Amino acid sequence: MNRTTISLIAGTAALAAITGFASLTAPGTSGADTAKAAAELPVERTTLLCPQPSTSDLADTSYTSFTPVTKGTGSDGTAQLQSAAEQSADGTSGSGKTGGTKSGKKKVDKKKADQPVLTPKEPGKPVTGDTSGADAPALVGTAEGRFAPGWALQETTEVAAGTGRGLQGVNCTAPDTEFWFPGASTDAARTDYVHLTNPDDSAAVVDIELYGKNGALKSTVGEGITVAPHSSDPVLLSTLTDEKQTDLTVHVNVRSGRVGAAVQALDDKLGGDWLAASTDPAGSLVLPGIPKDATSVRLIAFTPGDADADLKVRLASPAGQITPAGNETLHVKAGMTTGVDLGPVTRGEAGSLVLTPTDKSVPVVAALRVVRGKGDKQETAFIPATSPVGTRATSADNSGKGSTLSLAAPTRTAQVKVTASAGSDGGTEVSRTYTIKAGTTQDIAAPVPNGLNGTYALTVEPLSGGPVYAARTLAATEEGVPGFTVQTLPDDRGTVAVPEADQDLSVLQR
């Protein structure tokens, strides 16, 4: 048997093993017996990255992990959340020289780093962990088998005082090679960091580009940043440029390897929060879940192409889509960041911002900076443009009173199932079905587990109708400051399309 034949047999066997099924088809059979459409199978491995939560000694951070129960998974699997500074596969330390643009990294005790922050026990029930102070590292989570499909991790931090005080929250995200962050700033009152986390055994090389109101900011410091294996680097934006810009778009482009990326935006007076990446550039965007009591909303948009973008601006309210007074359209110049104040646009009602092209579709990215409170009792959060829920999405960290779930159906009426999981320390699962009318946003009275004790997860599953966009607001008022954080809920990518293979044994005879 020659080498080509052996390779073909090996390839066929491997494909059959991946899909879990392969139909045997003789040469020349009819189309009815040919390979079927791709099947949706549960993913078998998920990696999520959580950035270093804070450099404040007054920070208290909690982590919540949840995997929804998914049909088609086996009985095996593990998951754990661990320091990014753990030893690499060859036994060498994850720390390394990364240049002078970043803040200094603190050494992590090896024994402490190897101890998981949390280890989930079973799908369908949240598990929590916590830490405090300024020494908490970035974390890498790995889930396999039955814990992998739809795995959600939330990092929530309360900072009692100082720059960025208030509630900060972020969904731990999968590593990738490109990120867009409209809404960052180098304003005098802001201290913004781009956190880069490398989960792999080889170094990643990253470029950070900044775009302001007049285009790209000149800087060579952000080129070729090396992120060592199993490490995380917070890059202070003000070290990349001398220009003070109220509105910036940060583009993280990974030359080699992959990283997790998030922007920590801290304000001297308005608190702070995490700015998650906008969805990929697109002609139409939805930014869901503006709190109904928002006192100020600012829209920041950027188009990375060579053409200007003209966008219709609409607010999807509980009664339908309306046009914000004085902000009917938005003109975004090519390669330039545009910011506009929308004021208290929701006027006491739930709302989501919908951006569509006035004529020619030009890809854009966008985010909202939302402020609640007044005077010296103000707090900030960010809402990036997001993709629709798709098949399923999950919010991992919820409490009985401080959580608000917003659902938007910008084009067609949709029916949605929302499930409250069992509580982390007790309680039983509850599900309800909601109808979201076309063009509206609804802050729903989300279900709460029966006999809730601890935190719980909310899982959103569209049942019929048009696309649904979702966001969860978590609120916790401390000393009169309305602390809050908003996380959007895109599809959890818990399944993957796998083609059903047909074996063609005639290739072995050629």
Q: What is the pLDDT of residue 116?
A: 86
Residue 250's pLDDT band, with cuts at 50, 70 and 90, is: very high
Residues of the chain with pLDDT > 90: what percent?
Answer: 77
pTM assigned to the model = 0.87
Residue 451 has pLDDT above 50, yes or no: yes
Residue 371 has pLDDT above 50, yes or no: yes
The distance between the two most distant Cα atoms of the chain, rounded to a whole number of Å, is 81
Distance of CA 380 to the CA centre of its chain: 18
Residue 107 has pLDDT above 60, yes or no: no
Q: What is the pLDDT of residue 425?
A: 94
Residue 109 has pLDDT above 60, yes or no: no
Select from 474, 431, 415, 453 the least CA-distant residue to 68. Answer: 431
Q: What is the DSSP letter of 219?
A: -
Q: What is the mean pLDDT of the chain?
A: 87
Whole-number Å distance between alpha carbons of 380 and 164:
9
Residue 477's pLDDT band, with cuts at 50, 70 and 90, is: confident
Q: What is the pLDDT of residues 124-141, one digit of tens each?
A: 999 999 999 999 999 999
Whole-number Å distance between alpha carbons of 22 and 500:
6
Q: What is the pLDDT of residue 22?
A: 34
Instruction: For residue 130, list its beta bridge partners.
Output: 62
Whole-number Å distance between alpha carbons of 125 and 172:
18
Whole-number Å distance between alpha carbons of 243 and 229:
32
Mean pLDDT to the nearest integer, 207-234: 95
DSSP symbols for 371-430:
EES-TT--EEEEEE-B---TT-EEEEEE-TTTEEEEEEESSS-EEEEEEE---TTS-B-E
Residue 213 has pLDDT above 70, yes or no: yes
Q: What is the pLDDT of residue 29?
A: 41
DSSP symbols for 106-161:
PP--HHHHTS-SB---STTS-EEEEEESS-PPPEEEEEEGGG-TT-EEEEEEEE-S
Whole-number Å distance between alpha carbons of 24 and 37:
16
Q: What is the pLDDT of residue 311?
A: 98
Residue 474 has pLDDT above 80, yes or no: yes
Whole-number Å distance between alpha carbons of 169 and 379:
13
Q: Which residue has the higher pLDDT, 450 or 106?
A: 450
Q: What is the pLDDT of residues 279-335, one digit of tens each?
A: 999 999 999 999 999 999 999 999 999 999 999 999 999 999 999 989 999 999 999
Q: What is the pLDDT of residues 162-198, one digit of tens each?
A: 999 999 999 999 999 999 999 999 999 999 999 999 9
Helix (H) or strand (E) holding 229: none
Q: Which residue has the higher pLDDT, 74 or 14?
A: 74
* Gyration radius (Cα) of the chain, Å: 24
Give the type of residue at 232. Answer: S
Q: What is the pLDDT of residue 505?
A: 63
45 C-beta neighbours (distance < 10 Å), count:
12
Instruction: Tell me the torsion sign for CA atoms 86, 89, 91, 96.
Output: negative
Q: What angle do CA 57, 62, 65 make, to 5 degrees?
A: 155
| Three-class DSSP category at 318 | coil
Q: What is the pLDDT of residue 510?
A: 54
